[in-house]
Amino acid sequence: MKIGMYGIKLVSAGLLSLLFCTNALAESKNTGIRVGGHAAIGYNTVWGVDEQLSISKLEQTEVTTKTVTSTYLDGINNLSDIGFNAGLAVLFPFTESIGLSADLLFAYRSYSADLTLVSSKKTFMRDLVNDKWNKMDLVEDRQPLGEASITQINIDVPLMCRYTLPENGFAEIGPQLTFNVSTSTDGSLNEEANGFVMGLTIGGGYPIELGSGTLEIDVHVLFGFMAIQSNNDFEPRNMSFNVGATYWFI
């Protein structure tokens, strides 16, 4: 599984946030652990995917002409859909303003897009004076394949360093560990899922006193930096935008 430079930067940000919280924990004597239930609905999409997924490509070159014949899936970068998560939330407050938020969540994510199978033939003529190829002709055959989809059941474990803002809101950042429980695909997608991926979660929220507990309304963005499925040409990374709530009953 490839991580790349973007992944390294996200890992670094997540680890720095955990290091900061770990240092606060070492200096803390506060044991007021809070426990609650969390639920959220989200919009899932992918990044790090080209618009066209190549299936085959053949190039034939002569002295003055070149022909490139290729077959590819068009629209693969449009994979997106709705998902949700729910589970247990635990908050370890180290100081009045710094804490560690650790959740254990059941997560459902789906991605779908309308794909088209494209067969393309491009003809180029060589400009001998300037030594470059000029495109002369393009012939395409586009065959709609209908909707393709990926559906995943995951266990998410976000570990976020929380900072309580002066106005009683909060901001948090940290890595998220995702363990894939099951994956199903439909249509033209048949890749095997990666069993474990990581990402970086950034978010914040605002608490509301409700009865004997506290209700928090929150917004989070997850940037995945490991492919949820992969082969040489198709390595989609998850990006999720989630709106949720946590009710702290302890």
172-218 pLDDT, tens digit each:
999 999 999 999 888 777 667 889 999 999 999 999 988 888 999 99
Asked if 69 and 120 touch (Cβ cutoff 8 Å), the reply is yes
Query: What pLDDT shows up at residue 53?
Result: 81
How many Cβ atoms from other residues are within 10 Å of residue 167's Cβ?
7
Q: Which of 211, 223, 221 is nearest to 244 (CA)?
A: 221
Asked if 227 and 196 touch (Cβ cutoff 8 Å), the reply is no
Q: Residue 82 pairs with which residues in a beta bridge?
A: 43
Query: What pLDDT shows up at residue 24?
Result: 47
Per DSSP, 229 falls in state B
Query: What pLDDT shows up at residue 14?
Result: 45
Q: Amino acid identity of 166?
A: P
- Whether the predicted model's global pTM rises above the 0.85 cut: no
Asked if 96 and 24 touch (Cβ cutoff 8 Å), the reply is no
Please, which residues have CB within 8 angstroms of residue 3's CB and are 6 or more apart in sequence?
Answer: 11, 225, 226
pLDDT at 66 > cutoff 80? yes
C-alpha distances (whole Å) from 49 to each of 77, 98, 184, 232, 237 are: 6, 37, 19, 12, 8
Q: Residue 84 pairs with which residues in a beta bridge?
A: 41, 108
How many Cβ atoms from other residues are within 10 Å of residue 210's Cβ?
11
Query: What pLDDT shows up at residue 19?
Result: 52
**What 3-state class would DSSP assign to 198?**
strand
Query: What pLDDT shows up at residue 3?
Result: 43
Site of tokens 């859909």: 81
Dist CA 150 CA 145 (whole Å):
15
Query: pLDDT confidence of 96, banded at 50, 70, 90?
Result: confident
For the chain, the first-to-last Cα distance in angstroms comes to: 40
Average pLDDT of the chain, as a whole number: 85
Query: What pLDDT shows up at residue 17?
Result: 52
Q: What number is the average pLDDT over the span 59-65? A: 85
Query: What pLDDT shows up at residue 133?
Result: 80
Alpha-carbon torsion angle 47, 152, 86, 244, nearest 10: 30
Number of residues that make up the chain: 250
Q: What number is the average pLDDT over the span 91-100? A: 90
Query: pLDDT confidence of 16, banded at 50, 70, 90?
Result: low
Q: Which of 137, 151, 150 is nearest to 66 (CA)?
A: 137
